[in-house]
Amino acid sequence: MKKDVRLPETLEGTVLFNVDPIIIKYHYEVDYIHSYAQDSLFFAGLTKKKLLGSRCAGCCYTYATPRGHCMECGAKTEWFELPLEGKVHTFTTCYFGGEEFLKETPFTLILVEFEGVNTLFLSRLIGMEPAQMRIGLAVKARFLRNCKFRPTDIYFVPA
């Protein structure tokens, strides 16, 4: 047993904002080992300039955003290639946002509708002034050359 022991002192401090009550800065950060799992082929498709959706093998319902199983009947879906042109179903231009995207504001979000496909696809649109945006606008897909394996590897411009 040692009784004459002490923890070593360090020069690291704490960021203090206030003393009554005491308010300090507390840092928190995490890296995930994230798997796209059954949706992986969608992201792989973007690297080949393909936009992949899901078609139900049972009831033929079609999804512009992929899902492994059908919401309508529960059957497994198959991959199919979506057209690279569509129409703006709805839109907004964001002037504020979450911290991660603040530096990108203003940016325009659209839900794209594709001919004959039952559901929509969320994406960014560039090349239009916010005041010129309208529902029904014809748009076409573009792809990033240097893929980041994120849904933003595809984006849309006016057709």
Residue from 50, 55, 69, 124 touching other proteins (CB under 8 A): that is 124
Q: Between 74 and 113, how does the x/- string for binding to other proteins read (CB under 8 A)?
A: ---------------xxxxxxxxxxxxxx-x--x-xxx--
Nearest CA among 87, 91, 81, 86 for reference residue 124: 91
Residue 119 within binding range of other proteins, rule CB under 8 A = yes
Residues whose CB is less than 8 angstroms from the CB of residue 152 and which lie 6 or more positions away in sequence, other chains included: 123, 124, 144
Edge-to-edge order in the sheet of strand 52-56:
62-63, 52-56, 77-81
Interface positions with other proteins (CB under 8 A): 18, 21, 23, 26, 28, 36, 39, 63-65, 67, 71-72, 89-102, 104, 107, 109-111, 118-124, 130, 133, 135, 150-152
